[in-house]
Amino acid sequence: MIAIIQRVSESAVRIDGELKGEIGLGLMVLLGIEEADDQEDIDWLSKKIVNLRIFGDENGVMNKSLKDIGGELLLISQFTLHASTKKGNRPSYIKAAKPDIAIPLYEGFIQTVEQELGQPIQTGEFGADMKVSLVNDGPVTISIDSKNKK
Q: Any catalytic annotation for residue 123?
A: no
38/34 Cα distance (integer angstroms): 9
Nearest CA-CA partner of 99 in 127, 139, 69:
127
Alpha-carbon torsion angle 141, 40, 50, 119, nearest 10: 130
Active-site annotation holder among 80, 85, 123, 141: 80
Q: What are phi and psi of 9, to 5 degrees?
A: -90, -20
Query: Which residues are the active-site residues?
Result: 80
